[in-house]
Amino acid sequence: MSLSKVGLVGWRGMVGSVLLERMQREGDLNGLSCDFFSTSQVGQPGPALGGGGALKDAFDLEALAANQAIITCQGGDYTSQVLPALRSAGWDGYWIDAASTKRMDEDSVIVLDPVNRPVIERAIASGIKNFIGGNCTVSLMLMAICGLYQRGWVEWVSSMTYQAASGAGAAHMRELVLQMQQIGAAGAGLAEDPASAILELDRQVSATLSADDFRKEKFGAALAGSLIPWIDRDMPDGATREEWKGHAESNKILDNDPPIPVDGLCVRVGAMRCHSQALTIKLTRPISLSEVESVIQEGNNWVDVVPNNRDATLAKLSPQAVNGSLRVPIGRIRKLKMGPEYLAAFTVGDQLLWGAAEPLRRALTLLRERV
Ligand code: NAP
């Protein structure tokens, strides 16, 4: 069978837009016939790509089942509602999904091929049909330090994250900018005037952040000028679900047995795009920094070790520096006072690329080569 008929759902959201852009740039649409679906704009013109016509109904099982593969970036509720119904109706195609719903299921593989290509190849050979993108921070962490994992040098990892507004979707990005506008308006006049009283500026901004009309419908709190140390829903052990994913997903992606502990706190910050994380890594034994750096660098073709100095850090190790790039810089690498096995590092990556869209488009490419 050659895989040439693909349905795309969720293509106009944050992840879907980036995915479509990447597929066009890499020529993935050549030889593909595409149907574009929507949950809200059925019948309207779709993208003039892959021979797709008007937008089809994303809940029309028959229209979906006409495709050999479906790529969805629509979200978990959509997956929960549609995939079981499609499978019950006998659809046996490939489901490629950005949402977390199916990630931990036995009949799914989490795709991040620069890190777990053998796991994906085994899944294809064994007839697995669900190919799911990993959590964005987990995928970016593994892209950054897979070299250490490959050597068996990781005893545990603690990841403290600084996650961008776009991680929550298109509408949340807009809300962050609206919050920034409100703060800008409140500080206007005072911020430009170096002679104005700084405490007055502070009071104006603080009053704006806590005012009833401050825009926070999506985040539930101020993100601009503040931060939110809670992402996703709570779990029974005091962790958030975002934090829970670090251990669960990294071990499934790497097919680790026994599992290697990964834990930490996940924090939303006022960056627009790109997730950052501060890592504390306990190595299995003391290893020199130069060895650690060269093994990290050899991990894959996208990771970049950034020298641990101010100029390189400011130039290369920030959300702004990696926005729109597939590079995954990792810097601030140094030994901690806790002992020679304890390593600190800071890494940033575009969560919409390696953290979401890129593994999905590469999964489709791999399937087209294999089936
Ligand atoms: P999103 O931006 O909120 O888009 C999801 C859907 O919302 C769109 O497909 C669209 O569907 C609808 N929508 C309604 N109003 C819209 C508007 N004004 N602009 C664009 N779309 C609008 O969600 P997302 O961030 O892409 O996330 C999709 C899935 O990927 C989720 O399961 C998420 O957990 C996962 N994920 C996200 C990220 C990330 O960094 N954002 C990373 C990894 C995984 P219709 O066309 O049908 O209306």
- Measured in angstroms, how far is the CA atom of residue 174 from the centroid of ligand 1? 13
pLDDT at 201: 96
Q: Which residues contact 193 (CB under 8 A, 6 or more apart)?
A: none
pLDDT at 53: 87
- Measured in angstroms, how far is the CA atom of residue 292 from the centroid of ligand 1? 37
Residue pLDDT, tens place only, 301-357: 999 999 999 999 999 999 999 999 999 999 999 999 999 999 999 999 999 999 999
Q: Whose CA is nearest to atom 41 of ligand 1?
A: 167
Indicate yes or no: pTM above 0.75: yes
Nearest-atom index, ligand 1, CA of 37 = 47
Q: Whose CA is nearest to atom 23 of ligand 1?
A: 169
Q: Is 92 exposed, middle or buried (0-12, 13-18, 19+ CB in 10 A)?
A: exposed
HSE at residue 173, side-chain half, CA atoms within 13 A, is: 12
Minimal CA–CA distance to 82: which of 58, 110, 66? 58
Minimal CA–CA distance to 246: which of 232, 236, 235, 261? 261
Residue pLDDT, tens place only, 125-140: 999 999 999 999 999 9
**What residues flank ligand 1, with Cβ below 6 Å?**
10, 12-16, 38-41, 58, 73-76, 98-99, 136, 166-167, 169-171, 351-352, 355-356
Q: Whose CA is nearest to atom 10 of ligand 1?
A: 13
Name the band, by pLDDT with cuts 50, 70 and 90, for residue 264: very high
Q: Whose CA is nearest to atom 22 of ligand 1?
A: 13
Which phi and psi (to 5°) does residue 96 adopt?
Answer: -115, 120
Do residues 107 and 130 lie in contact, with contact meaning Cβ atoms separated by under 8 Å? yes
Do residues 64 and 82 lie in contact, with contact meaning Cβ atoms separated by under 8 Å? yes
Residue pLDDT, tens place only, 243-255: 999 999 999 999 9
Alpha-carbon dihedral 95, 251, 161, 79, rounded to 10 degrees? 20
Which H or E run contains 174?
A: helix 170-187
pLDDT at 251: 98
pLDDT at 52: 79
pLDDT at 1: 67
Q: Is 136 a catalytic residue?
A: yes
Catalytic residue among 34, 73, 136, 146: 136
The residue with tokens 């930490």 is 264
pLDDT at 50: 84
Nearest-atom index, ligand 1, CA of 172 = 3
The bridge status of strand 328-335 relative to strand 342-349 is antiparallel
Q: Is 275 a catalytic residue?
A: yes
- Measured in angstroms, how far is the CA atom of residue 8 from the centroid of ligand 1? 13
Distance of CA 329 to the CA centre of its chain: 15
Residue pLDDT, tens place only, 49-107: 888 789 999 999 999 999 999 999 999 999 999 999 999 999 999 999 999 999 999 99
Fill in the DSSP letter of residue 228: B
Nearest-atom index, ligand 1, CA of 75 = 32
pLDDT at 213: 97
- Measured in angstroms, how far is the CA atom of residue 14 from the centroid of ligand 1? 5
Phi-psi region of 355 (alpha: psi -120 to 50; beta: other; left: phi over 0): alpha
Residue pLDDT, tens place only, 172-205: 999 999 999 999 999 999 999 999 999 999 999 9
- Measured in angstroms, how far is the CA atom of residue 367 from the centroid of ligand 1? 24
Distance CA 150, CA 59 (A): 42
| DSSP per residue, 32-45 | -EEEEEESS-TTSB
Name the band, by pLDDT with cuts 50, 70 and 90, for residue 237: very high
| DSSP per residue, 288-329 | -HHHHHHHHHTT-SSEEEPPSSHHHHHHHSSHHHHTT---EE
